Structure 1
Amino acid sequence: MKNIKISVLDQSQIGRDSNAQQALKESGELVQLADKLGFERYWVSEHHNFKLVAGTTPEVLIPYLAAKSERIRVGSGGIMLPNHTSLKVSENFGMLASLFPNRIDFGIGRAPGGDRLSAQLLNPANTFSEKQFYEQLVDVQAYLRDDELPDTVHEKVKAYPIPEILPEFWILTSSGGSAQFAAHFGMALSFAHFINPVGGPEVVAIYRDSFKPSPELAEPKVNVGIFAYCNEDQDNVDRWVAEFDYRMLHIEMGATGDLPSADEIKNMEYSMHQRARIAWNRGRFIAGTPATVKKKIDALADEYNVDEIMIATWAEDFADRKHSYELIAEMYHTA
């Protein structure tokens, strides 16, 4: 049996009748709990033009969370690199790694983290091309390493401050394309099973077979992200599943309008297409009592052959959210 490490992905989701300020306050409390419980790392996401998520700027949220905790690694899950210039992102993470040495993860994604119009407004030079993403990865590694690549801007421009201890480089993927970038650049890989529950183990195997060691990482390194919720009361779990089924449909429909009440969701009648989406989406999360959740997390780790699972937990009741992480910590003796 693997010694499984547990990490947290926090999307700062906004609950019903709540607001962004409250969601971010809860992020601050949750990182302290994760730190106390012995979790490995705590990542925050980048989303845009999406009113149910408060996490738009990981580079701003990370130092707030790192300052509220003591030992847990804190990072981006991820920075959507095409939305930014390579120099500015490198300055941001050089600063973070200098302020919090050996605690910062630089998780990088290629998706827009929202709609294409928002991405174009964030970075008008964004072409959404693989070639541009490749060039940006070359640049951020060179800036943070302080490499002087011949005949490039890196001979003249530096991303200060240059950290003594580099952040960990991670590439995020949900479809597999970015796994090849991770292998080529010698970066760690995070597979988003919570986005796409199909084909992940095959993607991870290809990454491992193609991996080229880098100065920062000698061997392949992988974690897997999953939505998960745990509670001793099966009725509580069933209510959570009903609400989460709807919340994912709501997101897929464009997240327009306010969320219905729990009772309205409970009594909803779904179309055949919606029922099919719910069935598919249930592959993206794990929910149940402690014994069930542990069995499924163990199975996921075995399926991917990894020793780290990153868990994203949303719940309307923040106490339920914290308790779910506490139960999972007990399963894996993280504290």
Structure 2
Amino acid sequence: MRNIKLSVLDQSQVKRGGTAKEALEQSGELVQLAEALGFTRYWVSEHHNFKMVAGSAPEVLIPYLAGKTNTIKIGSGGIMLPNHSALKVAENFGLLETLYPGRIDLGIGRAPGGDRLSSHLLNPANNFSEKDFMQQLVDVQAFLRGDELPDTIHEKVKSYPRPEQIPNLWILTSSGDSAQFAAHFGMALSFAHFINPEGGPDVVEFYRHNFKPSPERQTPEVNMGIFAFCSEDKEKIQQWITEFDYRMLHIESGATGDLPSYEEIMSIKYSLAQKARIAYNRGRFVAGTPEEVQRKFLKLADQYDIEEIMVATMAENFEDRKESYRLLAQIFPQ
């Protein structure tokens, strides 16, 4: 059986009737559980103008989580780079790597992490240009390394503090477009299967074939992220699927209100278009008993030819969420 490493993607979900403070405290508890279970890394996401998610600033949340743990890698999944200046990202993560050497991952994405108006307010110079994103990647690497690139700002401006080694650099992608940047710059690649369940293995193959070694990374490295829920209670599994089907429609519709109760969701009559979207979205998650999840994870690992799966588990009941990760760790001992 393929040896699969497990990691956590935490979106600091604000549960129904809950608060952002509770969600962040649960992230603090969950990262300690993930470390105790032997998970490889723990990433937090960047979202804006979205009250169901408390994680708007990974650079603030990461030190809170790293301070509660000792060995697990902590990082961003990801920093949406066009929302920020390359210098500030390098300063933030150079400082984090200095504080927690060898434990910091800088996962970088190109999506807005919300709506475009929010992105514009975060960075009024952002014009969503692929060329600009590539230049930002050049700048982040140069700032972190302390490179003096001729005839550029890097001859005059440096990022401090400069850690002994730079953070682990990852590129996040769901469409596959950013895989070319990961390959070109010699960074690791994380494919967001939880956003796009189609084409991922082909993207990974392209990345591996085109990978160019960098000073920090000589060989390609890949993981894949997916929504998942594991339980020994089949009734809980079905309830989770029912609620998650609605959650995805709720998010995709741009709705900003609270999620309805399970009983209310059960009474909803979906249109044909909604049913079709639900069928598609079911490719974005895995839910089942330990045996069912093990089989599906192994299949995905074979399709992607990877050794690491990053699991995002949303659940209204925090105990169910923790138990899901415990069961995963039993399926794939870490």
CA distance in 2, matches of 1:332, 1:166: 30
Q: Which residue of 1 aligns with 2:97?
A: 97
User: Shift in Å at residue 3 of structure 1?
Assistant: 1.3
Match of 1:215 in 2: 215
Aligned to 1:225: 225
1:213 maps to a residue whose letter is: P
Unaligned 5+ residue runs, structure 2?
Answer: none
Q: Tell whether 2:126 aligns with 1:138.
A: no
2: CA distance, partners of 1:115 / 1:175:
18
Tell me what 1:238 maps to: 238
Distance, in Å, in 2 between the alignment partners of 1:20 and 1:301 is: 34
* Structure 1 counterpart SS, 2:67: helix
Q: After the TM superposition, which segments of 4 or more aligned residues of structure 1 sit over 3 Å from their partners? A: none
Q: How many angstroms apart in 2 are the aligned matches of 1:139 and 1:164?
A: 18
Is the 8 Å Cα contact of residues 52 and 258 (structure 2) preserved in structure 1?
no
What is the CA distance between 1:306 and its match in structure 2?
A: 0.3
Aligned residues: 334
Partner of 2:313: 313
TM-score (norm: length of structure 1): 0.99
Partner Cα separation in structure 1 for residue 72 and residue 43 of structure 2: 10
Counterpart residue number, 1:86:
86
CA separation in 2, counterparts of 1:57 and 1:257?
Answer: 22
**Deviation (angstroms), 1:255:** 2.4
SS at match of 1:60: helix
Distance apart, 1:257 and its partner CA:
2.1
8 A Cα contact 2:6 2:310, kept in partner: yes
Please give the residue correspondences for 1:46-57 in structure 2 after superposition, counting only pairs within 5 Å: 46-57=46-57
Superposed, 1:1-335 pairs within 5 Å as: 1-334=1-334
Partner deviation per Cα, 1:1-58 (whole Å, 9 max, x = no partner): 3211000000011110101111101000000000000000000000000111111000
Q: Would you say the 8 A contact 1:95–1:161 is kept in 2?
A: yes
Instruction: Provide Cα deviations, 1:84-121, integer angstroms capped at 9, x if missing partner.
Output: 00000000000000000000000000000000000000
TM-score w.r.t. length of structure 2: 0.99
| 2:41–2:72 contact (8 Å) kept in structure 1 | yes
8 Å CA contact 2:32–2:68 kept in 1: the answer is yes
Distance in 2 of aligned mates of 1:279 and 1:236: 20
- Name the CA distance, whole Å, in 2 between partners of 1:258 and 1:326: 28
What amino acid does structure 2 have at the position aligned with 1:88?
Answer: K
Kindly report the root-mean-square deviation, in angstroms, between the aligned alpha carbons of the 2 structures. 0.6
Cα distance per residue 1:184-223 (max 9 Å; x no partner): 0000000000000000000110011110000111011000
| Rounded Cα–Cα distance in structure 2 between residues aligned with 1:23 and 1:251 | 18
Percent identity, aligned pairs only, is 69
What amino acid is aligned across from residue 191 of structure 2 in structure 1? F
Report if the CA contact (8 A) 1:87-1:143 is conserved.
yes
State whether residues 52 and 255 of structure 1, in contact with CA within 8 Å, keep that contact through their aligned partners in structure 2. no
Is the Cα–Cα contact under 8 Å of residues 43 and 76 in structure 1 kept in the other structure? Answer: yes
**Corresponding letter in the other structure for 1:171:** I
**AA in 1 matched with 2:153:** V
- Partner secondary structure for residue 101 of structure 1: coil
Separation in 2, partners of 1:218, 1:73: 20
Shift in Å, 1:259: 1.2
DSSP-derived class of the 1:68 partner: coil
Q: Distance in 2 between matches of 1:267 and 1:302?
A: 39
- 8 A Cα contact 1:48 1:118, kept in partner: yes
**Structure 1: tracts of 5 or more residues without a match:** none
